[in-house]
Homo-oligomer: A and B are copies of this chain.
Amino acid sequence: MIKRIAVLTTGGDAPGMNAAIRAVVRYGIYKKLEVMGVFRGWWGLINEELRLLDHRSVSGIINQGGTILKTARCQEFRTEEGQKRAYEVIKKNCIDALVVIGGDGSFRAAHEFYKKYGVFCIGIPASIDNDINGIEMTIGLDTAINTALSAIDNIRDTATSLERVFVVEVMGRDCGYIALKVALAGGCEEVIIPERRYNLEEICHDIVEGNLRGKISWIIVVAEGAASAQEIAQKINEMTSLETRAVVLGHIQRGGRPTAFSRDLALRLGQIAVDCLLRGEKDKVVGLHDEKIISVDFARAIQKKDLRIEELYHLVKVLS
């Protein structure tokens, strides 16, 4: 039976990570577990930067962006040496299982670690990239979408007033999910995503034709994995002679107070992660699917996510 667990955040930070930490710690304690916090992800495990957390140590963080446990990329954990050192720290500190809050890279590492050393681990998906297969939404995604949408709303004010073409690049790595959702909810005229080929000539043709009908402002959302806003803007300018501006939202999408949904998801998944460990589950990601909390094997979770995008894309075009 497990008595002590450790929680860590890895990969890029995402809004709601702190809420997830809070849930793991408080629900863990409620279930009579000891909960250790590991600082700076896998690096902290290797370097034994960890300490016991109590109920108070997670006070006042539920609405804070980022992660109080900090996070870091860690090349060392990809080496035999690093993994071995981490395992020793785990043994030395009597840690029975891990809760890893992070994205698909983190789960890949955790999966390998389990296979090699048998360390029980449950993953909580927190990332703004929504690239975990088998689950609907990652923690932080709803916040990132709303932050990007709010930026689009601002840009719309200028686009309409100055009657310009804007190309706005949003985050999401290889996944066009944020771009699609933001384009739809922002009433944008076009969206370019990695999952779908785009034809710039067609887009320019649409713009010029719209222009003739009197529609002069135009916002094109670009997923970072599909193209560079700068390049797209330049090409549109060359092809249409219309003033075209590029905006790269960048890291403002990562931080900020988590939305209600991001917090809610984080809190529920934190609880479930602890319950899973108590039931003896391991090597899994917990997540939301069809409005139910489920768990998915790491092996499946890290596969390429399949996104049905045609319908959404079509709706963006029809409603713009």
Binding site for B on A (CB under 8 A): 9, 12-13, 15, 17, 19, 22-23, 26-27, 30, 40, 60, 62-67, 70-72, 136, 142, 145-147, 149-151, 153-158, 160-163, 166, 181-182, 184-187, 245-257, 259-261, 263-264, 267-268, 271, 289-292, 315, 318-319
Cβ–Cβ contact A256 & B71, under 8 A: no
Which of chain B's residues have a CB closer than 8 A to the CB of A291? Answer: 136, 289-291
Closest to A312 in B: B268
> Cα distance A144–B15 when bound, in Å?
20
Cβ–Cβ contact B264 & A261, under 8 A: no
Cβ–Cβ contact A156 & B267, under 8 A: no
> Cα distance A154–B60 when bound, in Å?
12
Pick the residue among B70, B147, B158, B292 that contacts A254 (CB under 8 A): B158
Cβ–Cβ contact A155 & B315, under 8 A: no
Which of chain B's residues have a CB closer than 8 A to the CB of A142? Answer: 260-261
Which of chain B's residues have a CB closer than 8 A to the CB of A246? Answer: 250
Cβ–Cβ contact B319 & A154, under 8 A: no
In the complex with contacts A23-B319, A261-B261, A267-B185, A245-B256 CB distance below 8 A: no
Cβ–Cβ contact B23 & A251, under 8 A: no
Which of the listed residues A19, A66, A136 has the most CB atoms from chain B within 10 Å of its own CB? A66
In the complex with contacts A154-B147, A162-B72, A259-B256 CB distance below 8 A: no
Pick the residue among B27, B157, B248, B255 that contacts A65 (CB under 8 A): B157
Which of chain B's residues have a CB closer than 8 A to the CB of A22? Answer: 187, 319
Cβ–Cβ contact B161 & A13, under 8 A: yes
Which of chain B's residues have a CB closer than 8 A to the CB of A156? Answer: 63, 66, 255
Cβ–Cβ contact B72 & A154, under 8 A: no
> Cα distance A23–B319 when bound, in Å?
6
> Cα distance A224–B113 when bound, in Å?
46
Q: Can you list 14 A-B contacts with CB-CB less than 8 angstroms, sorted by A residue number?
A: A12-B158, A12-B162, A19-B185, A23-B319, A64-B157, A65-B158, A71-B162, A147-B154, A153-B257, A154-B256, A184-B264, A184-B267, A267-B315, A290-B292
Closest to A65 in B: B157
Cβ–Cβ contact B260 & A185, under 8 A: yes
Cβ–Cβ contact A155 & B255, under 8 A: yes
Pick the residue among B17, B30, B153, B319 that contacts A255 (CB under 8 A): B153
